[in-house]
């Protein structure tokens, strides 16, 4: 079989081969798809058409320009063989000399012989999907390659969970190269695939790198705009001025990747489930509807928009719309008008384009990262100006709580902890607390409740409330530790408070992964007074580690933390305290209830710890709910204007 580098990609039908006599059937998947793609390659050889095509070749869109010769990538590692999409032997290519399989539906999955057991079957009691799909995640970040927050955690873990359930999964993200991040992409090899994207007044060439890891195809879009100092989205001077351009390229490249990249011997094809995350990827559903389906491409694809934080929407001046390369008649999908009070001057008409709004309009389904947040985004208080539009799409709006990676966050195996413990043996938690007190220079006192906070030091996280409440809390016999960075004013306050309460308060300015693990394990109570929290992960980590959360009852915090009830019909219930409304009085009341329970009702406190540690917030649980969303998306027709 010719290699991907030596072929042009055209309309071709990949017909499932026959099984050789004597080979026994194993769980190795060969999908037969008819794929319509754009011609993109440096070589002149063309993929031969199958002798019996199953569908009519669609009209090919011509808005992307193929290049003649692949450019030599800078600082790319030596090419490595592309691993197969599934770990069984022989699945890397479709063998041309196998004969005799009956022609059937192009969507049917056939199980073909394998000489080895699938690695998927080695996963302990791993649930499998009822229907396996080709899933394409599009994101601005994914751990461990590049991460700035919860979005990176989700896009680094959920694809792996779906792959373990039997789906074929691709993640498409930028290849950020700024010195510090270069090593994260060291195992990605150059695919020799490249396209020219017509937008922003010219044709901009992007190339693709690929790494196969944890049963997922990690695809990295490479362009000079991703090679600059700073963080992912900006530097010390603020957000990059060309972010709209950078993520327009990402969206175009993500739409092309399933059509042109041969990963593991075959391409993903047109019947994909696109999972687009936040505004960085929100142009994908618009492109599918405006620039692919009119030409017969991606008619069987669907898209799901995942909103991690509605506060960021990718809003730019209306004059930038022609730069996006979209047809003029699609302007309404992205049109955004600021209210008068938000305009800069009397002549400002408030006209803009909004990437996230475009996805809300055109995506087949919409998911927020908690049930509570799915309701909040439809309200004037939480909808960030999109509440009416999201309310109009309530029938396709759902919420799914994020999961946690139990390989990284598990008190019985955590490499950052001095002692291990579990729900069946909690003795190690007291030892972790004593070690944390020692590390922070606090008096080692097991009788004193240790309260912790981990997060950004900004208004959203309720730091101003903590600041006002500290004088009252310090009068009590407690200890308090904070880890985070952000607003310089709050950072300075943490330093001065530490100097004023040497035996009770510690403020760690900055962020350290090992320290965050040790604080999560060593504290008795975790405080999260966030004004809004789409999902929140720290409260999930805390419960996994037997640390009782005290949170503001909003978004995902309200969904995941059950209020303690010592008088429930079936005995004590609850995993913490969720207070509301967000006032200093309510927060202090919830904290004092937790402190009193810790001191005076040891058996009730142990029950709180164990119920939290027994909660199922794994990614496999979340992945099964995403599968249901996928099924619903494919029940309906895709968006057309």
Q: Mean pLDDT across the stretch 417-441?
A: 96
Indicate whether 247 and 389 sit together in one domain. yes
At residue 22, φ and ψ (nearest 5 deg) are 90, -15
Is residue 605 situated within a structural domain? yes
Count structural domains, the chain: 2
pLDDT tens digits for range 345-385:
777 788 999 999 999 999 999 999 999 999 999 999 899 99
Is residue 160 situated within a structural domain? yes
Cβ atoms of residues 397 and 374 within 8 Å: yes
Is residue 445 situated within a structural domain? yes
- Average pLDDT of the chain, as a whole number: 83
Is residue 33 situated within a structural domain? no
Tell me how far CA of residue 450 lies from CA of 290, 476, 561, in angstroms: 55, 12, 19
Indicate whether 397 and 525 sit together in one domain. no
Burial 597-629 (b: 16+ CB within 10 A, else e): bbeeeeeebebbbebbbeeebbbbebbbebbeb
| Percent of the chain at pLDDT exceeding 70 | 80
Indicate whether 306 and 246 sit together in one domain. yes
Indicate whether 351 and 451 sit together in one domain. no
pLDDT tens digits for range 82-121:
444 433 333 333 333 333 333 333 233 333 333 333 333 3
- Of 60-64, 272-276, 397-401, least confident by mean pLDDT is 60-64
Helix %, strand %, coil % of the chain (to 5): 35, 20, 45
Indicate whether 313 and 182 sit together in one domain. yes
- Of 19-23, 65-69, 382-386, least confident by mean pLDDT is 19-23
Indicate whether 473 and 361 sit together in one domain. no
Rounded to whole angstroms, the Cα distance separating 528 from 535 reads 12
Burial class (CB in 10 A: 0-12, 13-18, 19+), 120: middle
Where do the H-state alpha helices sit in 339-410? 355-362, 371-376, 387-392
Q: What is the pLDDT of residue 622?
A: 94
Indicate whether 243 and 369 sit together in one domain. yes
Q: What is the pLDDT of residue 49?
A: 36
| Percent of the chain at pLDDT exceeding 90 | 68
- Of 21-25, 259-263, 469-473, 634-638, least confident by mean pLDDT is 21-25
pLDDT tens digits for range 113-156:
333 333 333 434 556 777 899 999 999 999 999 988 889 989 99
Is residue 582 situated within a structural domain? yes
Is residue 96 situated within a structural domain? no
Indicate whether 430 and 350 sit together in one domain. no
Q: What is the pLDDT of residue 127?
A: 67
Rounded to whole angstroms, the Cα distance separating 193 from 454 reads 43
Question: What domain range includes position 319?
Answer: 134-402+625-635
Cα dihedral value 482, 484, 486, 492, nearest 10: 40
Whether the per-residue pLDDT at 338 is higher than 60: the answer is yes
Q: Mean pLDDT across the stretch 560-580?
A: 93
Is residue 599 situated within a structural domain? yes
At residue 84's C-alpha, the angle toward residues 104 and 216, to 5°, is 100
pLDDT tens digits for range 517-563:
999 999 999 999 999 899 999 999 999 999 999 999 999 999 999 99
Indicate whether 353 and 448 sit together in one domain. no
pLDDT: which is higher, 423 or 339: 423
Indicate whether 327 and 384 sit together in one domain. yes
Whether the per-residue pLDDT at 598 is higher than 70: the answer is yes
Indicate whether 366 and 515 sit together in one domain. no
Indicate whether 285 and 313 sit together in one domain. yes
pLDDT tens digits for range 312-326:
999 999 999 999 999
Q: What is the pLDDT of residue 79?
A: 45
Task: Residue 469: give its domain's CATH number.
Answer: 3.40.50.2000
Report CA 90 to chain centroid distance, whole Å: 32
Q: What is the pLDDT of residue 128?
A: 75
Q: What is the pLDDT of residue 125?
A: 52
Q: What is the pLDDT of residue 620?
A: 93
At how many degrees (to 10) do helices 488-500 and 463-474 cross? 10
Is residue 184 situated within a structural domain? yes
């Amino acid at each position: 079989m010719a290699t991907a580098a030596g072929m042009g990609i055209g309309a071709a039908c990949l017909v499932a081969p026959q099984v050789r006599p004597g080979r026994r059937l194993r769980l190795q998947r060969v999908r037969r798809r008819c794929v319509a793609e754009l011609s993109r390659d440096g070589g002149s050889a063309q993929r031969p058409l199958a002798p019996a095509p199953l569908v009519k070749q669609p009209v090919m869109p011509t808005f992307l320009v193929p290049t003649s010769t692949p450019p030599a990538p800078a600082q790319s590692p030596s090419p490595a063989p592309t691993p197969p999409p599934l770990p069984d032997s022989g699945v890397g290519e479709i063998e041309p000399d196998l004969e005799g399989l009956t022609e059937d539906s192009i969507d049917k999955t056939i199980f073909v012989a394998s000489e080895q057991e699938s690695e998927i079957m080695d996963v302990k009691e791993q649930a499998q999907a009822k229907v396996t799909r080709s899933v394409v995640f599009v994101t601005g970040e994914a751990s461990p390659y590049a991460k700035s927050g919860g979005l990176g955690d989700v896009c680094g873990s959920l694809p792996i969970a779906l792959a373990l359930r039997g789906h074929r999964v691709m993640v498409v993200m930028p290849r950020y190269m700024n010195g510090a991040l270069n090593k994260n992409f060291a195992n990605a090899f150059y695919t020799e695939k490249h396209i020219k994207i017509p937008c922003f007044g010219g044709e901009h060439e992007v190339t693709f790198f690929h790494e196969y890891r944890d049963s997922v195809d990690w695809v990295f879009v490479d362009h000079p705009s991703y090679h600059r100092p700073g963080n992912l989205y900006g530097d010390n001077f603020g957000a990059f001025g060309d972010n709209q351009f950078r993520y327009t390229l990402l969206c175009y490249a993500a739409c092309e990747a399933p059509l042109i990249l041969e990963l593991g011997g075959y391409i993903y094809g047109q019947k994909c489930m696109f999972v687009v995350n936040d505004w960085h990827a929100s142009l994908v559903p618009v492109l599918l509807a405006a620039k692919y389906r009119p030409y017969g491409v991606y008619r069987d694809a669907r898209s799901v928009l995942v909103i991690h934080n509605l506060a960021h929407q990718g809003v730019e001046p209306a004059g930038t719309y022609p730069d996006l390369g979209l047809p003029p008649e699609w302007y309404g999908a992205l049109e955004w008008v600021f209210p008068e009070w938000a305009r800069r001057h009397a002549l400002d008409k408030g006209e803009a384009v909004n990437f996230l709004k475009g996805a809300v309009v055109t995506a087949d389904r919409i998911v927020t990262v908690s049930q509570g947040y799915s309701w909040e985004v439809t309200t004037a208080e939480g909808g960030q100006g999109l509440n009416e539009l999201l309310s109009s799409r309530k029938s396709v709006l759902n919420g799914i709580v994020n999961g946690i990676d139990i390989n990284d966050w598990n008190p019985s195996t955590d490499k950052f902890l001095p002692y291990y413990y579990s729900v069946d043996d909690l003795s190690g938690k007291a030892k972790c607390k004593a070690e944390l007190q020692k590390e922070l220079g606090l008096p080692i006192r097991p009788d004193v409740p240790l309260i912790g906070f981990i997060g950004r030091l900004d208004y959203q996280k309720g730091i101003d409330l903590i600041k006002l409440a500290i004088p009252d809390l310090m009068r009590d016999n407690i200890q308090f530790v904070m880890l985070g960075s952000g607003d310089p004013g709050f950072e300075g306050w943490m330093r001065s408070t530490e100097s004023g309460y040497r035996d009770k308060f510690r403020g760690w300015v900055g962020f350290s992964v090992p320290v965050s693990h040790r604080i999560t394990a060593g504290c008795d109570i975790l405080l999260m007074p966030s004004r809004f929290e789409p999902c929140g992960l720290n409260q999930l980590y805390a419960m996994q580690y037997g640390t009782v959360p005290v949170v503001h009852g909003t978004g995902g915090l309200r969904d995941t933390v059950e209020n303690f009830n010592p008088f429930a019909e079936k005995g004590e219930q609850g995993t913490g305290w969720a207070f509301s409304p967000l006032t200093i009085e309510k927060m202090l009341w919830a904290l004092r209830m937790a402190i009193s329970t810790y001191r005076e009702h040891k058996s009730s406190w142990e029950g709180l710890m164990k119920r939290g540690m027994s909660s199922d917030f794994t990614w496999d649980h979340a992945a099964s709910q995403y599968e249901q969303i996928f099924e619903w998306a494919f029940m309906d027709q895709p968006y057309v204007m």
